[in-house]
Amino acid sequence: MMPQLDVPAGLVGTLAIIAFGLAIVAIVVAPIVARSRGSTGLGAALALVPFAVLTVAAVLAAAAAALGTVANQAAGVREVTTAGLALICITPVLGALFVRLRYGPTGDRTFQQQMAGNAVSSMLLVAILFEVLVVTGFLIGVAVGFFVGTPLLVGLAFAGISVLGTAGATLFALNRGDAFILELSKARRADPSNAREAMLRNVVQELALGANLPMPEVYVIDAGAANAFAVGRDTTHASIAVTRGLLELLDREELQGVVAHELGHIANLDSRHGLIVALLVGAVVVLTDLFFEAVVEMAQHPSIGGDDIGEVVAGLVMWLVISLLAILFAGTLKLFAPLAARAVQAAVSRDREYLADATSVSITRNPAGLESALRKLDADPTRLLDANRGTQHLWIVNPLKEASEGGHGWFDTHPATADRIARLRALAGQDARRDAEPSAAAAT
């Protein structure tokens, strides 16, 4: 039997609290230093600060979990919670390190490397969101379990139930989500008798053939704002919708760039990916909202009994203390868990946009078309009235103009247009250099 380790009183809790605080600091600092991602020297070094802070937080949380388990010879609520925090902190660090080592710096990647790197980043972000969901369900279960005397068991049960419930909702939504989004956007099938819409169908058909994809259904939205999106649970059940304003604004070359971008979303299964992410975020929000409402309801209906005034006063004081602590815990969970989940959702959306841009280049071999289209779409002042925050991540540019904060913030669903254009130009320059190398070798 392993001897019990003598851990100083309060050490495990102190390490866990410091780890949680550092994780919050990283969340606050990341949007600030993200502005320096295109800088060199000190500016580029500052972009690594959030990852360094998360690394320290992960080490401290893991140490707290390990020390608590060894000291008690059995994992408890505190150990499981700090282990979950360590996992959430270390996942983005390991993911960023892997992508950097495997595919190199962003500006030096070919479009194939850009596509692969963004795909890996998106999967890691979904893993983080899944971890947040599991830990949130566990903490809510722990709070409920305290009333029945088995917080660890109930916490683990709630974590499992939240995952199973979300998986069931995901399977249901995958079969009905596409039609709902098209109906919500008031999309209609493209009319072959209309010249512009006939051209759109031809462009979709020729690019789908070139990309070795089944031709998706083509829809038009009668709106003056220039925008487009794609939906589909797989490549054989997919649709592309563009606005009337986009057809009027872009020429054929620019339209090819946009359509190829949407075909990239279809090829990369972004609609399915986005739906899963949205449901995971929704599950976190629903869990925390229901828990907060249950705590408030419980606090409003105390059950205080006693044979004399002393017992009644003691019961009232106990009820006030427990209610305040429960509301504080539920309110903190309600605030931070959905914020973290939505930040990850936005990060996933930004990565998928970069991925679709790179896929567009691989289909058309012409970054200039998409680059010009993005400039026009970004400059278009017309608002898309039927857009909402639940579907804004689907569009090629953010339809909620006032929601854009430059593409570097935690909650921006789209990258900054300047960043997207810079990547397209980098891809074009690398392709040109590769084409020039055989010619130079032949001349030599």
What are the catalytic residues?
262
DSSP secondary structure string for all residues of 391-440: TGGGBSS-S-GGG---S-STT-SS--HHHHHHHHHHHHHHHHHHHHHHHH
Please count the other Cβ atoms lying within 10 Å of the Cβ belonging to residue 154.
21
Is the Cα dihedral 371, 373, 376, 377 positive or negative?
negative
Which residues face 218 on adjacent strands? 240
What is the rounded distance in angstroms from the CA atom of residue 19 to the CA atom of residue 282?
A: 26
Please count the other Cβ atoms lying within 10 Å of the Cβ belonging to residue 261.
28
Please count the other Cβ atoms lying within 10 Å of the Cβ belonging to residue 339.
14
3-state secondary structure of 307: coil
Sort residue 194 into left (φ over 0), alpha (ψ -120 to 50) or beta: beta
Q: How many residues does the chain have?
A: 444
Place of tokens 């680059």: 371
How are beta strands 217-221 and 187-189 bridged, if at all?
Answer: antiparallel
Please count the other Cβ atoms lying within 10 Å of the Cβ belonging to residue 171.
10
What is the rounded distance in angstroms from the CA atom of residue 160 to the CA atom of residue 164?
A: 6
Nearest to 372 by CA among 442, 444, 421: 421
**Alpha-carbon separation of residue 42 from 39, 45, 47, 49 (angstroms):** 8, 5, 9, 11
